[in-house]
């Protein structure tokens, strides 16, 4: 009888220890995920070729506690919401409501984007056409027939900015890919996707700039797909 009691006590102790270990692991994971790292997924081609569709990566939430946001950083930021009522995805707005159905933003799923920092506070950023490219130079866009395509560059305070990470020339025309000429406000940033011809970014948003308070982490380490594993550049 004593053996059975001792065995039962030992079993209960083991269960308690297992539960304690599980609780500690869950709390630790929550702290890591909410205060130190983000675990992010890339669902669109906006950051191709550096971050292919389906990429998974870690972002470091504490990065900007120790250093300022720098041009060229790839950042994870709070973009807006996926409306709980009509499922419309929209950028944060002053009304805190879905522009499609007028539902309050509170309770809707948050939407995060990943883009590259291009414009810093106080800088004049221009995107303007300055050369013509052959359609054969494009990888992500297919043209029905060979043609000449108006393209351009980013200019920062009047000087052309070199972007070695771009996959193809950046189209700048009077139709879908319009140029911009803006000055970045204090405590805000202008963000663009690397796949410039297939990216919803500062060029197209209702609110052109992303405030520093909405930047949640610096994209740091890609762990999937395996051929891309390494530090985000």
Residue ranges covered by each domain of the chain: 2-117
Does the pLDDT at position 162 exceed 90? yes
Does the pLDDT at position 22 exceed 90? no
Q: What is the pLDDT of residue 25?
A: 46
Mean pLDDT on 91-111? 95
Show the CA angle centred on residue 100, arms to residues 181 and 208, nearest 5°: 15
pLDDT grade for 16, boundaries at 50, 70 and 90: low
- Write down the pTM of the prediction: 0.86
Q: What is the pLDDT of residue 24?
A: 54
Q: What is the pLDDT of residue 140?
A: 79
pLDDT grade for 175, boundaries at 50, 70 and 90: confident
The C-alpha atoms of residue 3 and residue 96 are separated, in whole angstroms, by 65
Q: How far is CA 223 from CA 2, 5, 28, 58, 134, in A?
A: 53, 49, 21, 8, 36
Mean pLDDT on 8-23? 63
Mean pLDDT on 109-134? 97
Mean pLDDT on 101-107? 95
Does the pLDDT at position 29 exceed 50? no
Of 14-23, 37-46, 58-67, 203-212, the range with the lowest mean pLDDT is 14-23
Mean pLDDT on 161-188? 94
The helix or strand, by DSSP H or E, that contains position 8, with its residue range, turns out to be helix 2-31
Among candidate residues 49, 56, 51, 104, the one with its CA nearest the CA of residue 81: 104
The C-alpha atoms of residue 177 and residue 161 are separated, in whole angstroms, by 18
Pairing mode, strands 170-171 and 109-119:
unpaired
Does the pLDDT at position 125 exceed 90? yes
Mean pLDDT on 190-205? 96
Q: How far is CA 73 from CA 36, 69, 103, in A?
A: 18, 7, 34
Does the pLDDT at position 34 exceed 80? no
Does the pLDDT at position 9 exceed 60? yes
The neighbour count for residue 192, using CB atoms within 10 Å, is 22
pLDDT grade for 181, boundaries at 50, 70 and 90: very high
Q: Specify whether the CB–CB gap between 219 and 50 falls below 8 A.
A: no
Q: Specify whether the CB–CB gap between 42 and 228 falls below 8 A.
A: no
The C-alpha atoms of residue 214 and residue 185 are separated, in whole angstroms, by 14
What DSSP character marks residue 45?
S
Q: Which residues of 132-170 are buried (b: 16+ CB within 10 A; e: fewer)?
A: ebeeeebeeeeeeeeeebbbbbbbbeeeebeeeebbbbb
């Amino acid at each position: 009888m004593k053996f059975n009691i001792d065995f039962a006590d030992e079993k209960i102790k083991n269960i308690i220890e297992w539960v304690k270990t599980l609780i500690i692991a869950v709390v630790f994971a929550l702290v890591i995920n909410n205060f130190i790292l983000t675990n992010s997924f890339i669902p669109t081609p906006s950051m191709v070729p550096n971050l292919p569709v389906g990429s998974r990566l870690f972002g470091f939430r504490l990065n900007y506690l120790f250093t300022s946001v720098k041009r060229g950083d790839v950042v994870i930021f709070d973009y807006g919401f996926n409306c709980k009522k009509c499922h419309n995805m929209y950028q944060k707005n002053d009304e805190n409501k879905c522009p499609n159905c007028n539902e309050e933003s509170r309770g809707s799923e948050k939407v995060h984007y990943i883009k590259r920092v291009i414009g810093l506070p106080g800088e004049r950023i221009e995107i303007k056409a300055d050369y013509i490219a052959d359609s054969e130079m494009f990888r992500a866009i297919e043209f029905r027939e060979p043609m000449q395509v108006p393209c351009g560059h980013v200019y920062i305070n009047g000087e052309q900015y070199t972007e070695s990470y771009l996959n193809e020339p950046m189209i700048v025309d009077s139709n879908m890919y319009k140029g911009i000429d803006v000055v970045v406000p204090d405590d805000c940033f202008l963000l663009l996707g690397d796949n410039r011809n297939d990216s919803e970014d500062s060029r197209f948003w209702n609110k052109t700039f992303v405030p520093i308070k909405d930047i949640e982490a610096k994209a740091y380490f890609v762990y999937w797909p395996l051929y891309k594993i390494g530090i985000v550049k």
